[in-house]
Amino acid sequence: MKKFLFLLLFLPGLAHAQLADNFSDGNFTANPTWTGDAASFQVNAQVLQSNGPAVTTTQVALSTPCQATIGTVWEFWANLRVVTTSGNYADVWLIASQADLRATSNSGYFVRLGGTGGKVSLFRKDSTRTAVAVIDGALNSLSTTNNLVRVRVTRTTANQWTLERDLTGGRAFVAEAAQPLDATYQRSVAVGVFLNYSSTNNRNFYFDDFVVTDATAPLLARAVPTDARQVDVVFNEAVAAASAGLPANYRLQSGAVPVSAQLSATNPAVVRLAFAADFAAQDVLQARNVADLYGNVAAGPLTAAFTSLPAAPAFGDLIISEIFADETPQIGLPLSEYLEIHNRSTTKTLSLRGVRLGKTSSTTFAAFADTAKLLPGQYAIVCGSTRISQFTQYGKVYGPTNFPSLNNGGDQLILRGRDGRTLFEVAYSDTWYRDAVKKDGGWSLEMIDTNNFCAGASNWTASTNASGGTPGRANSVRAANADALAPSLLRAIALNATTVRAYFSEKLDSAAAATVGRYALATPGPAITRAAPVGPDFRQVDLTLATALLPSRPSVLTVQTATDCVGNASGVLQPATFALPEKAVSGDVVINELLFNPRVSAVRFVEIINRSNKFIDLQGWQIGSVKPDGTASTTVLSTGPLVLAPGQLLAFSSSLAIITTQYPTSSDAANLVQTASLPTFADVGTAFLADGKGFEIDRFVYSKALHLSLLVTQDGVSLERIRTNGPTLGSNFHSAASAAGYATPGRPNSQAQDEAGGDQELTIMPEVFTPDDDGQQDFATLNYHLDAPGYAASVTVYDALGRLTRRLTRNETLPTNGFIQWDGTDEKGHKAAVGYYILLVELFRPTSGEKREYKKTVVLGARF
């Protein structure tokens, strides 16, 4: 028998044997090494013999490493000198997941010799479960007290099993009829023997001539992508690292070769390939010259087709293309809010796993399920989790929990990737409908050109579909609407002594915007050390300075170029002047114009002006209103940085669109700021201005009586400050001129007057005035410059015949410099007649008893 096996080992079919042991060396501890219950076995006459404890129900095992699993032949000889029963049998493991064959969690395949029925059978064991027969052998094959058998088991590369045995111990094999398919286990660590016996049979099991042969080349089972550029190549058996780890042995159908090939440390049948570019949606992998562990080479090419995995979306891949924020009145769509998302890629399937949808005003986000995906070019509807059934008729629908409530008037929506990066952002407004009827509800907002996804109002409009929208499909308003304009620099603000924020007209390419060399401060100015684009819309860039700025010291920011998010690049941009803001004190910033009684369907506004030499940050400042009953309400003017330069004015309103419509020629959009709301100003009340800490900066006690009494209506007419540096008193305000449209939001006041010049004690300006509210000499001012404080004054107007026309002041204490105005009306509020008038000025100093009296002439005229 030993000579026969020795010759077999030199046959060509056995040249690739992974294991061959006939124990001719007299041991089982080397060539190969068997481990386990070594004390329970011995080699006797060049045969492996059991030698365990003489105890009933003893179990012993011995194994040796072997990774052969498929395209393999296993052979062994055995002699069981026992009457086989359920308590006396031997299991010869062909494929085992663990070297310890007695472990209850062991998995794989084994041949059972004996047991109930005295069979030679092939079993499969699934971890802790009871083994099941794969090939159930013939009854009573092993039924004597001296059972001699040689077994051969073959598993093809197609996972078909054959069990053969020769009950004489020779090689005249007889096959069992069944040849089943079973591909459950593809990996192995060991082969070996497991014995279960009674006390009298402890030395009655004999084994010899173990041979495991793999003469088949490996096959490519499948290719499994793990991301957009990596794929796991799975072979049907373990492969050799030397050949499997060569990138040149693989390629895609496009000809691309991987940049790396790494054999798995946990599964030697798997090789991970990494490529330099994303896979196509459908791809084919080719493998050549890959060898198994036994030298069998697959010349190839072996091929495996695969579908690329859904890729995590990059910026601009996944967008919101439709917004249905106001569902009533119903036009045709369901009465539920929805958003439409769109995969802009024509080649990539996008995985929505971990993608989050929300509003920048909230910390709660809706997360898509791990299985959510969008095919190239596909649209999907996103709605509340309880509203999915309302939209299934339109196409793919996702209903994540925490779907954000959409504000009818406008909101800022954002999509973030699972790594937190911004994928898409839009700050929509109901002005984007461009249609007063559709703005009232029932119609969706649709993106016009999805290739211009960074644009705002210019690329959105109301749906034209008769149902009110196009959920789940291409938009009804789709058209080419490319962005051909490069970004401009709007302004710059010093957030603190070493940080300057630059504001741009549109969304920037965040990577390009982070280039420090694009920015500089005009000499002499500190160097810029860092540029950090500000998400989520990237319209701002925070610049870090090497040295600190000085308060209210103007600096100039220059930008060499700016690139928007679709790639339009500018040249050198218009520079922006800024300075580090200072704290304001009372009177630095004052109310410059107030519209408290707007026209029907119009809105109020408040205009302020910085009359100091400081740069002042209005962040957190409030405008307030106190009614005669003492109740007050306030509105924050700006939640973010908003710096007011010396001499600069800004007007605040809840609707800039209405303001510019009401005052098209007398407003300046560059100096208008939108607020969420403004306080309600009664016809009589107090307007006040407070800083971010609530400290009062200015207060204006106003009433409708301050308006020119000759006005036909006061609706839509503002009160304007006459002199910037004058007090915030009713006497320093006048109705805006009719020629200026009755209000000048964001522009210099129509009734503004320069300070009186010269050294004269009393002057009249102008000497001829025409109170017709046309903005030209609408009132006369008595300017005074007194030689000392403490004077009280009475100013009375008389006509040319000496008749009392109007008392302007009566025993009113005056500052040393100021003015008193006459609007041309008499004591009853009627317009005085055209002609000459005398202003009698009586000054009295109570401390000294000194009296002075002056007469000034003025002409009240009329235009013809």
- So what's the pLDDT on residue 417? 94
User: Is the predicted pLDDT of residue 9 greater than 70, yes or no?
Assistant: no
HSE-CB of 506 using CA atoms within 13 angstroms:
24
CA distance 685 to 626: 6
Q: pLDDT tens for residues 799-845?
A: 988 899 999 999 887 787 788 999 999 998 899 999 899 999 999 87
Q: Provide CATH code, domain 220-307.
A: 2.60.40.1220
Q: What is the mean pLDDT of residues 608-615?
A: 96
User: Is the predicted pLDDT of residue 657 greater than 80, yes or no?
Assistant: yes
- So what's the pLDDT on residue 630? 85
Is beta strand 460-462 parallel, antiparallel or unpaired with respect to 338-343? unpaired
Q: What is the mean pLDDT of residues 165-187?
A: 95
Q: What is the mean pLDDT of residues 262-272?
A: 94
Encoding tokens for residue 660? 């510019």
Give residue 757's pLDDT band: very low, low, confident or very high (50, 70, 90).
very low
Domain at 2-214: CATH architecture: Sandwich (2.60)
CA distance 554 to 493: 11
Quick one: CA torsion of 625, 631, 637, 643, rounded to 10 degrees?
70
User: Is the predicted pLDDT of residue 2 greater than 50, yes or no?
Assistant: no
User: Is the predicted pLDDT of residue 294 greater than 60, yes or no?
Assistant: yes
CB 771 within 8 A of CB 779: yes
User: Is the predicted pLDDT of residue 14 greater than 70, yes or no?
Assistant: no
Q: pLDDT tens for residues 670-690?
A: 899 999 899 999 999 999 999
> Whole-angstrom distance between the N-terminal and C-terminal Cα of the chain?
139
Encoding tokens for residue 295? 């030298």
Same fold, 2-214 and 589-740: no
Q: pLDDT tens for residues 345-364?
A: 988 889 999 999 999 888 89
- So what's the pLDDT on residue 755? 58
User: Is the predicted pLDDT of residue 13 greater than 60, yes or no?
Assistant: no
DSSP string computed for 478-511 = -------PPP-EEEEEEEETTEEEEEESS-B-HH
Residue predicted with more confidence, 751 or 587: 587
Domain limits, the chain:
2-214, 220-307, 318-462, 489-578, 589-740, 762-860
- So what's the pLDDT on residue 304? 96
Classified as helix, coil or strand, 330 is coil
- So what's the pLDDT on residue 17? 58
- So what's the pLDDT on residue 10? 34
Q: Provide CATH code, domain 589-740.
A: 2.60.40.1260
Residue predicted with more confidence, 244 or 738: 244
CB 72 within 8 A of CB 162: no
User: Is the predicted pLDDT of residue 63 greater than 80, yes or no?
Assistant: yes
> Which residues touch 177 (CB under 8 Å, ≥6 apart)?
none
Q: Which of 646, 565, 570 is nearest to 609 (CA)?
A: 646
Q: Provide CATH code, domain 489-578.
A: 2.60.40.1220
- In eight-state DSSP terms, residue 52 is -
> Which residues touch 541 (CB under 8 Å, ≥6 apart)?
501, 502, 504, 508, 513, 514, 519, 531, 532, 533, 534
Q: Provide CATH code, domain 762-860.
A: 2.60.40.4070
- So what's the pLDDT on residue 751? 81
User: Is the predicted pLDDT of residue 759 greater than 60, yes or no?
Assistant: no
Q: pLDDT tens for residues 379-404?
A: 999 999 999 999 999 999 999 999 99
pTM: 0.60
Domain at 318-462: CATH architecture: Sandwich (2.60)
Q: pLDDT tens for residues 431-468?
A: 999 999 999 999 999 999 999 999 999 999 999 999 99
CA distance 274 to 201: 57
Give residue 3's pLDDT band: very low, low, confident or very high (50, 70, 90).
very low
- So what's the pLDDT on residue 864? 61
